[in-house]
Structure 1
Amino acid sequence: MLFRMTALTFRPARREDVPLVVGLLNDDAIARSRGVAPDIGPGHWAAFDAIDADPNNELVVAEIDGEVVGTFQLTFIPGLSRNGGERAQIEAVRVAEPYRNQGIGRAMVAWSIDRAKLRGCALVQLTSDKRRTEAHRFYGALGFTASHEGFKLQLS
């Protein structure tokens, strides 16, 4: 299934998009809930409301002809490093399976970078699970460099 790149649009996610976004997050080779139909609960709605109300967070969907085909989240992080420059964090980049390998992910990241530039960010960053070797090649091809080692502490 090929698409016309001109038909790809981006918009802020709406409340009714939450089940689709959660489904995209779950349709992933290493997702913790892979293959499990998303059970949208109070935590999802509360998270959406918090993201939606926060001017430093943007949950975005990509559409082709009104169909949601991808999603990502941008978080703008103020900080004192880099002369007080804000940084943009790209998270949860997902493309629906039938639309993968057609340039949608590349377009979503390019849109994110442009959005960060418009906001005056000094840096764009992202993290990727160590098992995602294909994603690492993808991000490298877009000019990102593996510059830091990340650490996480699971709390729940």
Structure 2
Amino acid sequence: MLLRPATRADLPAVLALLADEERVVDPASVTVTPAYERAFADIEADARNEVLVLVDDTDDGDPVIGCLQATYIPGLGKGGAERALIEAVRIRADRRGGGLGRELMSRAVERARSRGCALVQLTSNKSRTDAHRFYASLGFARSHDGFKLAL
């Protein structure tokens, strides 16, 4: 397995992973809108943001089997160190249960550590109880309640 920054060619596969957690979505069926194009270009151009893909380098058909977005946030807490925010973590539905999510997260945490981040944080929808158990098994602790305001 290879973890690497996503390229524009990976965008349909990433959007397919985000489209439905419960089933495999064919990347060819995903419409890449101008808004997605702009968002990906902005992420790619920002040194503090990255979309990472987990690639099965033995699969010639649809090698992207996982993804996440990492944002590196400078702050005055933790001695001025960056913190990493991890979001949009997905493993393709037909590849779950074999340790790939653990591999994806451990590699992302190592990337944050190598950048000098003092903390890795993430949010997860309250309805994703399986994901919460998974994150706890990786050593993540519930520490805050989050709030969002839709605009």
What residue is the counterpart of 2:10 in the other structure?
17
- Alignment of 1:105 onto 2:101: yes
Q: 2:117 aligns with which of 107, 117, 121?
A: 121
Per-residue deviation, residues 54-84 of structure 1 (Å, max 9, x unmatched):
0001111111125111111111000111111
Task: Decide whether the 8 Å contact of 2:52 with 2:68 is kept in 1.
Answer: yes
- Alignment of 1:140 onto 2:139: no
Amino acid at match of 1:149: D
Q: 2:20 aligns with which of 11, 19, 27?
A: 27
How far is 1:26 from its partner? 0.6
Structure 1 runs not aligned, ≥5 long: 1-7, 30-36
Per-residue deviation, residues 1-30 of structure 1 (Å, max 9, x unmatched):
xxxxxxx1111101011111001001225x
Measure, in 1, the Cα distance between the counterparts of 2:93 and 2:133: 19
Structure 2 runs not aligned, ≥5 long: 23-28
Equivalenced residues, count: 141
- Alignment of 1:40 onto 2:32: yes
What residue is the counterpart of 2:26 in the other structure?
none
Measure, in 2, the Cα distance between the counterparts of 1:11 and 1:137: 26
How far is 1:38 from its partner? 3.1
> What pairs up with 1:77-96 in 2 under 5 angstroms?
77-96=73-92
What residue is the counterpart of 1:34 in the other structure?
none
> What pairs up with 1:44-55 in 2 under 5 angstroms?
44-55=36-47
Measure, in 2, the Cα distance between the counterparts of 1:45 and 1:52: 10
Per-residue deviation, residues 86-107 of structure 1 (Å, max 9, x unmatched):
0001111101111011111100
What residue is the counterpart of 2:25 in the other structure?
none
Runs (4+) of structure 1 exceeding 2 A deviation are none
TM-score (norm 2): 0.90
